[in-house]
Amino acid sequence: MPYDPTTTNRPDPTPLSRRHLFQGAVAVGGALAASHLGAESAAAAAPAAKVRPDSVILLQGDSITDAGRDKRRPGANDPRALGAGYAGMIATRLLGKFSGHALKCYNRGISGNKVPDLDRRWQTDCIDLKPDVLSILIGVNDIWHKLNGRYPGTVKDYEDGFAALLARTTKALPKTTIVICEPFVLRCGAVGDKWFPEFDQRRAAAKRVAGSAGVIWVPFQSMFDDALSDKTPPNYWAGDGVHPTMAGHALMAETWMDTVFGS
């Protein structure tokens, strides 16, 4: 099947089985998460989120968050609706750890989305859900689609649009804890020299937006950079350089939980 970068239908990036990928991530995930969080602790401008009874947890973004979720099933805590990636793994951790809290976890990531796409669906897919904790991972398509000649947005467009989206959100949902996840790529697959330095400029823009808004920052790029080794090269974590393997998703979930909830 031809690979379409705007979908999650892609070939298995490595000969490793999903089981082995997951086991490898679990084996190193805790140590890696702990090792890089100290260096990035200043970036988390907001205190850790609190888990309260009846809290709504919403994860937003593009195909990395989408992870093949069933969009025909919009309810909370549905494994098929939460997808096969980090969002579903986070929901599983939260629902198990806080079993008496009646949490509601939603995934509203949509493959191919950019910041303008989030903006167009934000009322229905975010504000109307009234999340207590809102996590956003967005940015890789804003540059990928530009490189493919399908979108003209600049770094400034990305930063201004992202900042406006957060301002709209905080005005409508002043009590919501907001989490901004760092956009990331690994140098393999579709990701080559043409991505740089612009991708790093966009990462810096996302960090400025998070800092200005005083929200929690999850350092996914430095997490993956720290995870690289001879035994775990870039394609172990993300076969095409953009979409995580099961190991990559597991590491993301571990780091997100450590950063957002301190566990």
What pLDDT score does 46 carry?
64
First to last CA, the chain: 40
- Residue 134: pLDDT over 50: yes
Bridge pairing between strands 177-181 and 133-137: parallel
What pLDDT score does 262 carry?
87
In this structure, what token pair is assigned to residue 162?
């992202």
What pLDDT score does 24 carry?
43
Strand partners, 180: 136, 217
What pLDDT score does 47 carry?
67
Give the CB-side neighbour count of residue 58, counting CA atoms within 13 A: 24
Alpha-carbon gap, residue 16 to 202, rounded angstroms: 32
Q: Identify the CATH homologous superfamily for domain 50-261.
A: SGNH hydrolase (3.40.50.1110)
Q: Are 57 and 103 in contact (CB under 8 A)?
A: yes
Query: Position 85: which residue type?
Result: G
Strand partners, 238: 244
- Residue 2: pLDDT over 80: no
Residues 133-142, mean pLDDT to the nearest whole number: 98
Instruction: Give 158-209 pLDDT, tens digit per residue.
Output: 999 999 999 999 999 999 999 999 999 999 999 999 999 999 999 999 999 9
- Mean pLDDT for the chain overall: 87
What does the longest C-alpha to C-alpha distance in the chain come to?
49
- Residue 49: pLDDT over 50: yes
Strand partners, 56: 104
> Which of these, 95, 167, 177, 108, lies nearest to 138 by C-alpha position?
108
